[in-house]
Structure 1
Amino acid sequence: MLDSVKISRRQSEIRQTLSELVGKTDATEDETRSMESLDKEYRANEVKYRAALIAEDEQRSEAKGELETRSDREWSEMMGGFELRQVAMALDEGRKLDGATAEIIEEMRSAGGYQGIPVPMEALETRAGETVSGDQVLNPKAVRPLIDRIFPNSVASQLGIQRVSIAQGEVAFPVATAGAVFGWQTNELADVGAANPFETSERSLNPDHTGGAQMVISRKALKQSGAGLEAAIRRDLNAVIATELDRVVINGSGAAGEPLGIIPGAGTYGITSTAIGAAASWAAFRAEIVAFMEANAITSPSQVNLAFDPAIWADLDEALISGTAVSEWNRLTNHVGTPAISNTIPAESAIMTANVKGVAPGYLGVYGGVDLIRDPYTKAGSGSLVLTGLVTADYTAPRGLQTRILTGLTA
């Protein structure tokens, strides 16, 4: 215990004792002497207390970083002990949850909004030592590579889209649309210009879009796989949820329960879409980079994020500059880095985004964790475990000028 804490506690004890003695009207000589000694000790302790604070200041400074990150580390360590196998067995057999798994689930339940067993998004990653055999029945001898987290390595994240974890309610992003205007005096007594109102608009993330990832675990897998079932559930949920979230960020229709994505929502978000009508080239992308610069969104081509489908990569790599071995792909990557290449981007299209002063070009809001629910009826005859993982998410682009779309990039 720190000396300052010990002294502070002793001072509290002295104050309490003195308050009892002072209240007496017929204090004895011993009690009077006791008050004098306690008063003397109290004044001496005040000096010691200040000295202790000075001496401990350096220790507190050194420990500050550790104290600030301790809660994050503790949560990460708890998440490392989360077992999806326990969740599956609880849903299948009613087995009692325990350990870190029970703690995390209880904490998520306190936020409300779950019909089944809540599973944190951070749990949907495989861990070192988890293995999968070729026939999909788990075998601890065949070691496979680690599966990445649910979102960070997706195409959307490479475009700078930021994921926002939301406990509940609506999240709004106010965007300034008008503000200060600079003006010069036309003469010595003239005004510098009329005041311009500061105006904002809002882009919101709402819990209006819920989807579900479903899986069926056979009775054989439940009995044969044992602890290895952990990796199977995590891998399947990871893959299907990550793929779908990536798709709706780019191509979400905004109808039939889907969030409104970048390409279908270009008009809503104020995103400029340019029809090129020619083969993909560095010149086409350069023109859009210039447009970013003219809108004060970027100051360097390297600040642009770019994504397109594999066919465009092939066209750029094949197109050589006349009389050289340099391709259009070489010229592009020399200025903007390596683009994201994925079938998620529609054919003959490309998306360009920019992070402006720390503001992401788009936000994917994920509400809470995965709500894992058991269906006890659909496969009851076969003894299989049918799981549905419900995910509520929404997407919005706060400023359209941070994104540009190119279409018609034909071969």
Structure 2
Amino acid sequence: MLASKKLELRRSEIRQNLAELANIANPSEDEVRKMTDLDAEYRAKEVQYRAALISEDEQRREAGAELETRSESEWRDMMGRFELRQVAMALDEGTAINGATKEIVDEMRAAGGYQGIPVPMAALETRAGETVAADQINPQTIRPTIDRIFPNSVAGSLGVQRIGIARGELAFPVATSGAVFGWADGELANVGAAAKYATTERSLSPDYTGGAQMVISRKSLKQAGEGLEQSIRRDLNAAIATELDRVVVNGTGADGQPLGIIPGAATYGIASTAIGILASWSAFRAEVVAFMEANAITSASQVNLAITPEIWADLDNSLIDGTAVSEWDRLTKHVGTPAVSNVIPAASAVMTATVQGVAPGYLGIYGGVDLIRDPFTKAGQGSLVLTGLVTADYTAPRGLQTRILTGLAAA
């Protein structure tokens, strides 16, 4: 029994004894002495009780942290034993799924929303040390898991945060107006008119679903063996990652796509500036100043930047007169190394900043990958057609955290 519980029970007994003694009309000397002793003991137990609570609270926190760490470790261990090969064989031949793979599939299916066999995003990881068949391409990959794609992608470089959502709509209330400070112009004057605190909402909703499809030939199923699992992971990984990265920046908001940063600039309240001059540090510096004037940042190093390969080449080739220092050197000295990618439209650049812990954008991923088999399209060939469905949405809560530059002329 916990010390605090023992002390609490003893305090309860003392209170009961004191209540009995207090009801005596004419207590004797022994009864008065007993009341005094019980009162002193109760006060001492009260101090001990508080000390025990403090001590046990620290123990509970340590135990909770240990349990949390243990839970995460056990989940990673179970995910490491998930076999995508079992899913492929179950879809193709009806083979029963077992082990850790079955546990994970059953848990995800219990949450609902899957027509085929659910596959967690983390299961698309290309795991180090796995045996690969000799006739398979060496499974080198830039992005080892879905969960770790974004820090190495344009969206991750821009500070976009990925959120896992089980179901429903996720709303972000954003304050648009509030307190106003004013000085009293006189002894009895008012400090100013009160302004209402108002908010608007940015939301993520499960309205956008895309799918990565692949055809696995019968020969591959029979010949590749365990190497097939690596191939499926690598292909699904690349297809899903590339498209999610693209829609964050260029999603049209039409034809089933989420609304991305550049097409959604007006909707999200993002400033877009037409430069019309050769890319240089001074052009980007003007936007950094705009961030500072909006109280979004206090240092140029807080800015994230993504540019095209052509702009990188122009910056690196443009030397300051009489020096060996390029415009690229000046830029990276202040804002760090920008992300360079073809995802950014030609002659354009995107700048973002994380303000007060709020990311410039949020990419919501609903559940895992819903892996579905098509048994009819390629039935005559004996091939396995797989479709991995992903439901996602993007939103930018505050437009002032993002700025777009267009018309950056080439050298």
TM-score (norm 2): 0.84
- 1:176-196 CA-to-partner distances (Å, cap 9, x unmatched) read 000000000000111111111
- 1:186-234 CA-to-partner distances (Å, cap 9, x unmatched) read 0011111111100000011111110110001111111111122111111
In structure 2, distance between residues paired with 1:130 and 1:58: 42
Decide whether the 8 Å contact of 2:133 with 2:226 is kept in 1. Answer: no
In structure 1, distance between residues paired with 2:143 and 2:399: 33
Correspondence for 1:206: 205
In structure 1, distance between residues paired with 2:311 and 2:133: 36
Structure 1 residues 221, 198: CA separation in 2 closer, same or farther (over 3 Å shift)? same
Correspondence for 2:116: 116
SS in 2 for 1:365: strand
Decide whether the 8 Å contact of 2:133 with 2:224 is kept in 1. Answer: no
Instruction: State the 1:63 CA deviation.
Output: 3.7
In structure 2, distance between residues paired with 1:230 and 1:393: 25
In structure 1, distance between residues paired with 2:333 and 2:57: 51
In structure 2, distance between residues paired with 1:85 and 1:369: 17
Decide whether the 8 Å contact of 2:175 with 2:197 is kept in 1. Answer: yes
Aligned-pair Cα RMSD in Å: 2.3
Correspondence for 2:189: 190
Supply the AA of the counterpart residue of 2:70.
Answer: R
In structure 2, distance between residues paired with 1:403 and 1:98: 47
Identity among equivalent positions (%) equals 74
Decide whether the 8 Å contact of 2:272 with 2:403 is kept in 1. Answer: yes
Instruction: State the 1:147 CA deviation.
Output: 4.3
Correspondence for 1:27: none
Q: What are structure 1's unaligned runs of at least 5 residues? A: 12-46
Verify: 1:107 aligned to 2:103, yes or no.
Answer: no
Correspondence for 2:267: 268
Give the paired residue count: 366
In structure 1, distance between residues paired with 2:52 and 2:400: 56
Correspondence for 2:320: 321
Instruction: State the 1:56 CA deviation.
Output: 7.2
In structure 1, distance between residues paired with 2:139 and 2:381: 31
Correspondence for 2:224: 225
Supply the AA of the counterpart residue of 1:165.
Answer: G
- 1:5-32 CA-to-partner distances (Å, cap 9, x unmatched) read 9x99xx9xxxxxxxxxxxxxxxxxxxxx
Structure 1 residues 296, 65: CA separation in 2 closer, same or farther (over 3 Å shift)? same
Q: What are structure 2's unaligned runs of at least 5 residues? A: 10-44
Instruction: State the 1:132 CA deviation.
Output: 5.7
Correspondence for 2:36: none
In structure 2, distance between residues paired with 1:278 and 1:295: 24
Instruction: State the 1:69 CA deviation.
Output: 1.8
Decide whether the 8 Å contact of 1:124 with 1:149 is kept in 2. Answer: yes
Supply the AA of the counterpart residue of 2:320.
Answer: I
SS in 2 for 1:277: coil
Instruction: State the 1:154 CA deviation.
Output: 1.2
Correspondence for 2:154: 155
Supply the AA of the counterpart residue of 1:197.
Answer: K
SS in 2 for 1:109: helix
Supply the AA of the counterpart residue of 2:287.
Answer: E
Structure 1 residues 132, 260: CA separation in 2 closer, same or farther (over 3 Å shift)? farther
Instruction: State the 1:65 CA deviation.
Output: 2.5
Q: Which deviates the most, 372-381 or 54-63?
A: 54-63
Supply the AA of the counterpart residue of 1:350.
Answer: A
Decide whether the 8 Å contact of 1:129 with 1:143 is kept in 2. Answer: no
Moved over 3 A (4+): 49-64, 130-134, 142-147
Supply the AA of the counterpart residue of 2:123.
Answer: A
Correspondence for 1:255: 254
Correspondence for 1:180: 179
Correspondence for 2:91: 91
Q: Which deviates the most, 393-402 or 56-65?
A: 56-65
Correspondence for 1:284: 283
